[in-house]
Structure 1
Amino acid sequence: MAETHKLDLIHLILISFLLISISSAEIDPKPGVCYGQLGNNLPSPSKSVELIKSLKAGRVKLYDANPEILDSLSNTNIPVTVMVPNGVITPMASNQTLADDWIRSNVVRFYPQTLIRYVFVGNEILSQPDNVTWFNLVPAMRRIRKSLVKHNLKKIKVGTSLAMDNLEVYFPPSSGKFRTSVTDSVIKPLLRFINHTKSFFFIDLYPYFVWAANPTNVSLDYALLEPNDSFYVDGVSGLMYTNLLEQMLDAVYFAMKAAGYPNIRLFIAETGWPNGGDVDQIGANVYNAAVYNRNVIKMLTEKPYRGTPYKPFVALPSFIFALYNENTKPGPGTERHFGLLYPNGTNVYPIDLSGKTPEPDRKGLPVPTNNEPYKGKIWCVAEHGANAADLGGAMSFACGEGNGTCDPIQPGGKCFEPDSVWSHASYAFSSYWSQMRKSGATCYFNGVATQTTIDPMVSLRKSIFLSTSSFGNNIYALRSSQTKFQFFTSLCLMNKMANLRFNSTIKGSLILILLTAATIVYAKSGDVTELQIGIKHKPASCEVQAHKGDKIKVHYRGKLTDGTVFDSSFERGTPFEFELGGGQVIKGWDQGLLGMCVGEKRKLKIPAKMGYGERGSPPKIPGGATLIFDTELMAVNGKGAVEGDVDKIFRLCIC
């Protein structure tokens, strides 16, 4: 009798495995990729589709229904997911016509040439503070589904992607439970809809954030899906886990079971690991990103399907986040560093989404340096070269939100001087960030701020570049177009210089420089009356600088103030070579390139009197024209720089 029961159990297991295999047969386990577009330097859609093919992606997910991208994906046989924007959900919930119009414009128009397989209604809606939209989610999904049926597109599934914060309990996995605030009102209707339409529960899973929040108690190898000695046994279910991703997946399975729907399939709508981030974002590096994503691909593509401890042998379709590093994505630095590719189309690290290529040797990956918590100081400062108007807007926000954030930089305040846009913005950003950081504030400010581990007082020196030649025989005062260096600073520096051990001739030269700097006129845009120099990029080290008499090679692009380009060596591919200070070029160049480091980039605004004067240079340059040059120093044949202890001078008067 016992033997009969044993055989029955074996038959049951075999039948179950067969049913699972059949149900999974239609699902391609090859991971896809999330194609985000929050960057101002990304390749064209047609180029992006070629790159997606090169990654051997199994599918592609969009966060909208961009027509140019959908056209580029036509006839590629790549399954596509499109998305109804979050802002459309509430009106669509009660308006079938709106849903019909959306499907007609964004699905019917492209299908079947573009292989649209899923329509997502919103992205992580239940993580948003607008709870009105929460309750309109499922009604809007029903409208979209009805429209698809109307157009005989029943095979296109409807879903929505949710994040792990929709679970109020996910440890241990067997105790997985959805948030009480949404279980009855949103989750159960959603699961009912998914079950009825045979769709998936789409979930965004990021072991990185779980590990980064508790790196002491969670093993990095456990989070990276690496073979390791760490494992966890669920005390209730008895299931054993060897990695964090499977643990998170099973928590969702158990949560759906607790809500009354134990057999709904899971689809990983997003997963990934950041290849970079802010200074204090532990473990965000290229090495870890490569290891995690390669291990995920290996886990999801191996056959027989691995599944999870609770749901073994079940295929898990997925998307890797993301195609590109997206430089305008708001939030902490990791948000802008999840890409498999850089914006120029090159790989951040080699990867094959099909899982068919053996893993490349890890020796080619950069050694991680931030797998331990950062313990040093961090400042939030303004980006050098940021637009002055953008800095002003961000500074207004920072000063308006904090508690006395900007009092010290008000007129008469202890940090009012130096009175420059960059220094004031840097103070405001750091002050706001230090107050609001624990509440989730980031050092981003719409892209005009950045973190630094270098005391910003050192950076201020870049606002005014001091160059002396032959101990004061040739003196130039050069400055950033965003700096208003006032006479107060000059007096402060002169009063303090007596305490420094400087050659007396250099002291005199520097005093003259500072007095000259205090008289320069600041102009925001358009024509200028004095030479303006903006430093767009400064290399980390500056061993070779350009001085009078040096033979230098410079790439440049010359423009008028209306943006018209009149000459460019970049397009010709050959830098221009000349003797600096020898009168071979316009005076604005002879002075504007002094002290430049190899690899440095500057923007020069040159007044007519230092350019081509009132006569101009017909036909391209009219008389009296202000000239704008984007320059990059490529090579210097000479050596030498006189900087001495200039940094010490600035430290005496900076808050």
Structure 2
Amino acid sequence: MASWRLMAALLLHLLPLAAMAAQDAFVGVNIGTAVTDMPNPTQVVALLKAQQIRHVRLYDADPAMLTALAGTGIRVTVSVPNQQLLAIGQSNATAANWVARNILTHVPATNITAISVGSEVLTIIPNAAPVLVSALQYIHAALTAARLDSRIKVSTAHSSSIILDSFPPSQAFFNRTWDPVMVPLLRFLQSTGSYLMLNVYPYYDYMQSHDAIPLDYALFRPLPPNKEAVDSNTMLHYTNVFDAVVDAAYFAMSYLNFTNIPIVVTESGWPSKGDSTEPDATLDNANTYNSNLIKHVLNNTGTPKHPGVAVSTFIYELYNEDARTGAVSEKNWGLFDANGRPVYVLHLTGSGSMLANDTTNQTFCVAKDGADRKMLQAALDWACGPGKVDCSAMVQGAPCYEPDTVVAHASYAFDAYYYKMGMAEGTCDFKGVATITTTDPSHGSCVFPGSNGSNGTFINGTSLAPSSNSTSSGSSLSFHTGNSISCVTISVVLLLSAVFL
């Protein structure tokens, strides 16, 4: 009998994670409002519907926004702003009034599914930490009184910086200073069937690592097995920073004996523009990160510690917030500008219907920044030779001759090959010196193939572009560039591994 009781207790203990494993993960967006010409709520909702975004997180409980969302079915997470936290955390009546005013007047017409009580309280306003759990309990009590507690979850969003020693994940633990808050908080989340809200920013982890974290690892780009990070305690392999941080949070909770609380990532993204100290805040990197993040979440991969367990995520953020203070990057996390134009167009083939701006036919293959010049030259020779790319546009006097650099000419040849091969996977690699971009590299009268919207065609007998694990040799059109002199000669080029591996 005792063994049955133990088994029943264990099953009950694991129910929340089991439920998350049975659910499909979702991707939502945060809606910040520090925008000089902020669209009105009706315009915001129109954009959400056009982009088929079904989950949003607000940083307040703006009544006009909640009214505009009524009848849409969009699932909404509202927030108790940090400046209201102290009052709510010290008064049950204040919490009940907040719920009556901001929740009860909008449900069920508006599909409110969660309340975030404050944001990054422990790191932004630590003086409010002593009342944080009380605030959650009072808000939940008001929902219970209105019989909404099973429909609306209550939690609070944390910065991932409260996790110390985060790699390897199995050694991670929460800052012990916050144990008097974290233990009762996790107990509350467990007892109410809620989830830990966590803000995960691989961009900042990468920036603060001083090159210890490879950019590809932060951007979800594929890594060879020998480059994957391995947790020596569990032997789990990590191919990206995002999963490592999420698992660090799971292990930190288990260190406090909580093993059944799911995680929802309430903020994650990558800035598309930065100042001179932020060279990796670029359109291409933002597109790469968010496109890969969306695919990663929606395929229900889970994490190495909890494979198949949904890690639903809200992208930070819908709009560029030009009115924010601080570094240039702070103003440039948005997917759209204030007029609803995409800052960049996500590449989401095979990722479901969320976000209508699929850039399958609007991407370009160009030379990677900082690529070795000799490797670029060898790749250019291959493309114009065995790759059978028409490189006539780059001869002297032709539209794409200027600028007369190996980078510019290689970019044109790479893109021409990429489109000729139907943008097939692996056709924009060239031994690692090429990369996909959504920024049109066309200039003047030099129009790159992607600008024409061409889908490309596969030509029987055409070799695949050299990848990181192949070698090629054969007759090619050697295309030498530099010092404003370009000569096209037929030659036999051996792509030696010393040059092109």
Q: TM-score range by the shorter chain?
A: 0.5 to 0.7
3-state SS in 2 of match to 1:121: strand
| 1:274 is the counterpart of 2:271 | yes
| C-alpha distance in structure 1 between counterparts of 2:296 and 2:266, whole Å | 16
**Correspondence 1:130-209 to 2 at 5 A:** 130-154=125-149, 155-183=151-179, 185-209=180-204
The corresponding residue for 1:416 is none
3-state SS in 1 of match to 2:86: helix
- Which deviations, in whole Å up to 9, do the C-alpha atoms of 1:465-500 show, x marking residues without a partner? xxxxxxxxxxxxxxxxxxxxxxxxxxxxxxxxxxxx
User: Number of paired residues?
Assistant: 353
| C-alpha distance in structure 2 between counterparts of 1:104 and 1:20, whole Å | 28
The corresponding residue for 2:341 is 346
| C-alpha distance in structure 2 between counterparts of 1:370 and 1:274, whole Å | 18
CA shift for structure 1 position 239: 0.8
Q: Which amino acid aligns with 2:152?
A: I
Report the CA distance shift for 1:20/1:137 in structure 2 as closer, same or farther (over 3 A): closer
| 1:108 is the counterpart of 2:104 | yes
Is the contact made by 2:16 and 2:261 (CA closer than 8 Å) also made in structure 1? no
CA shift for structure 1 position 44: 1.1
| 1:329 is the counterpart of 2:328 | no
Q: From 50, 56, 59, give the equivalent of 2:52.
A: 56
Is the contact made by 2:80 and 2:116 (CA closer than 8 Å) also made in structure 1? yes
3-state SS in 2 of match to 1:161: strand
Q: Which amino acid aligns with 1:232?
A: A
The corresponding residue for 1:41 is 37
**Correspondence 1:360-509 to 2 at 5 A:** 360-361=359-360, 364=363
Q: From 226, 245, 257, give the equivalent of 2:242.
A: 245
The corresponding residue for 1:226 is 221
Is the contact made by 2:269 and 2:290 (CA closer than 8 Å) also made in structure 1? yes
3-state SS in 1 of match to 2:157: strand
3-state SS in 2 of match to 1:57: coil
**Structure 1: segments with no counterpart, 5+ residues:** 1-14, 373-655
- Which deviations, in whole Å up to 9, do the C-alpha atoms of 1:550-596 show, x marking residues without a partner? xxxxxxxxxxxxxxxxxxxxxxxxxxxxxxxxxxxxxxxxxxxxxxx
- Which deviations, in whole Å up to 9, do the C-alpha atoms of 1:301-350 show, x marking residues without a partner? 11xx2111111110111101100000111222111100000111101122
CA shift for structure 1 position 364: 3.2
3-state SS in 2 of match to 1:319: strand
CA shift for structure 1 position 212: 1.6
The corresponding residue for 1:296 is 293
| 1:73 is the counterpart of 2:69 | yes
- Kindly report the root-mean-square deviation, in angstroms, between the aligned alpha carbons of the 2 structures: 2.5
Report the CA distance shift for 1:22/1:163 in structure 2 as closer, same or farther (over 3 A): closer
CA shift for structure 1 position 179: 0.4
Q: Which amino acid aligns with 2:46?
A: E
Q: From 255, 260, 283, give the equivalent of 2:257.
A: 260
Q: From 86, 92, 98, give the equivalent of 1:90.
A: 86
| C-alpha distance in structure 2 between counterparts of 1:297 and 1:281, whole Å | 24
The corresponding residue for 1:235 is 232
- Which deviations, in whole Å up to 9, do the C-alpha atoms of 1:90-141 show, x marking residues without a partner? 121221111111001100000000000001100110111x432011100011
| Alignment TM-score, normalising by the size of structure 1 | 0.51
Report the CA distance shift for 1:307/1:131 in structure 2 as closer, same or farther (over 3 A): same
3-state SS in 1 of match to 2:216: helix
Report the CA distance shift for 1:25/1:164 in structure 2 as closer, same or farther (over 3 A): closer
Report the CA distance shift for 1:31/1:365 in structure 2 as closer, same or farther (over 3 A): farther
3-state SS in 1 of match to 2:251: helix
Q: From 313, 320, 334, give the equivalent of 1:318.
A: 313
The corresponding residue for 1:497 is none
Q: Which amino acid aligns with 1:108?
A: L
| C-alpha distance in structure 2 between counterparts of 1:371 and 1:258, whole Å | 43
Report the CA distance shift for 1:366/1:98 in structure 2 as closer, same or farther (over 3 A): farther
| 1:29 is the counterpart of 2:25 | yes
Is the contact made by 1:287 and 1:366 (CA closer than 8 Å) also made in structure 2? no
3-state SS in 2 of match to 1:267: strand
Q: Which amino acid aligns with 1:133?
A: A
- Which deviations, in whole Å up to 9, do the C-alpha atoms of 1:388-447 show, x marking residues without a partner? xxxxxxxxxxxxxxxxxxxxxxxxxxxxxxxxxxxxxxxxxxxxxxxxxxxxxxxxxxxx
Q: Percent of counterpart pairs with the same letter?
A: 34
